[in-house]
């Protein structure tokens, strides 16, 4: 009988373990898609926070749709998480900013909502408490700075973008155009600062690296006089590194001499190696791990009613062929 009681007690303790974990309040991070190395770096930051705070009443919970192109799927996950009693706060990287804004309005949450990596449109900013992530306008401006410095006389340019309704990518593109043109707020370039956007540009790739490389292949074929690409997200480089290399290796000498210029976002995956190989003029990178690591403590501050700045920027890393050994924040 004593042995039976001991076994029963052990079984009860085993069952209680997961129950205790499940009782933790969740600090939810919803990203655009789980198929993207950038967002996996956010997850790693989230998990580091969990590892450093095992006794917290909160846990960082990372989720998102399987595909970055699944805007409706992300909105449904946001709705589900906002309806979940265990959700104490939520940080969202909106793929489709207007859709996520409407999802938040419909849910009318009482818990803190913040954005991460990508923000809501300015007119919807009151729906969230703060934005944590990259200064996306500055990022695009820095990419434009490198392109303009390399090719001061301008030329034909094509901008590679992600989802049409992604606010962060739109802000980068605006910063890029402003830097090239020397003017503010132009929706397209038609000779300003010497730069003209190629027919069919900008190209929207829905964060698909292979699609991005194919788009650049097509643009180059249709516009042999193209001077530059501005890639507002690093998808072609870190999601399709070999096709990217295959496309631009024949242009390596032109890139080295600034006869052809490529400015690109992000510094993850193979991107820095590609810069070292001389197949991109400059990279302007974000700090996704830091975003994921800082998000839980930021959400706890919001829960506690503390004053949190809006926005909270996580900085940039800038890489060229000559700085690849030192350009990434350690």
Report the predicted TM-score, pTM, of the whole model to 2 decimal places. 0.89
120 and 45 Cβ atoms separated by less than 8 Å = no
Q: Which of 210, 320, 220 is nearest to 275 (CA)?
A: 320
Rounded to whole angstroms, how far apart are CA atoms 113 and 172? 23
pLDDT digit string, tens, across residues 91-125: 999 999 999 999 999 999 999 999 999 999 999 99
The yes-or-no verdict on residue 154 having pLDDT over 60 is yes
116 and 93 Cβ atoms separated by less than 8 Å = yes
Least confident of 14-23, 24-33, 184-193, 255-264: 14-23
pLDDT digit string, tens, across residues 51-92: 999 999 999 999 999 999 999 999 999 999 999 999 999 999
Higher model confidence: residue 298 or residue 11? 298
């Amino acid at each position: 009988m004593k042995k039976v009681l001991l076994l029963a007690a052990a079984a009860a303790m085993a069952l209680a373990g997961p129950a205790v974990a499940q009782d933790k309040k969740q600090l939810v991070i919803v990203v655009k898609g789980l198929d993207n190395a950038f967002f996996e770096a956010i997850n790693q930051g989230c998990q580091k926070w969990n590892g450093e705070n095992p006794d917290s009443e909160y846990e960082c919970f990372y989720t998102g749709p399987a595909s970055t192109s699944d805007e409706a799927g992300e909105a449904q996950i946001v709705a589900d998480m906002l309806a979940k009693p265990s959700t104490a706060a939520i940080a969202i990287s909106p793929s489709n900013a207007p859709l996520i804004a409407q999802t938040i309005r419909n849910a009318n949450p009482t818990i803190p909502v913040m954005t991460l990596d990508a923000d809501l449109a300015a007119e919807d900013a009151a729906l969230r408490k703060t934005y944590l992530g990259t200064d996306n306008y500055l990022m695009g401006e820095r990419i434009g700075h490198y392109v303009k410095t390399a090719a001061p006389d301008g030329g034909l340019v094509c901008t590679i973008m992600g989802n049409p309704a992604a606010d962060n990518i739109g802000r980068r593109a605006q910063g890029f155009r402003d830097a090239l043109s020397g003017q503010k707020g132009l929706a397209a370039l038609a000779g300003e600062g010497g730069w003209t956007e190629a027919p069919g540009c900008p190209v929207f790739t829905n964060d698909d690296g292979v699609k991005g490389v194919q788009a650049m292949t097509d643009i180059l074929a249709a516009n042999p006089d193209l001077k530059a690409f501005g890639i507002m997200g690093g998808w072609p480089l870190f999601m399709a590194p070999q096709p990217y290399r295959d496309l631009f290796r024949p242009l390596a000498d032109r890139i080295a001499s600034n006869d052809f210029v490529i400015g690109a976002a992000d510094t993850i995956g193979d991107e820095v190696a590609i810069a070292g190989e001389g197949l991109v003029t400059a990279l302007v990178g974000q700090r996704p791990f830091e975003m994921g690591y800082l998000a839980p403590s930021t959400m706890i501050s919001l829960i506690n009613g503390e004053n949190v700045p809006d926005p909270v920027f996580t900085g940039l890393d800038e890489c060229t062929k000559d700085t690849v050994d030192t350009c990434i924040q350690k």
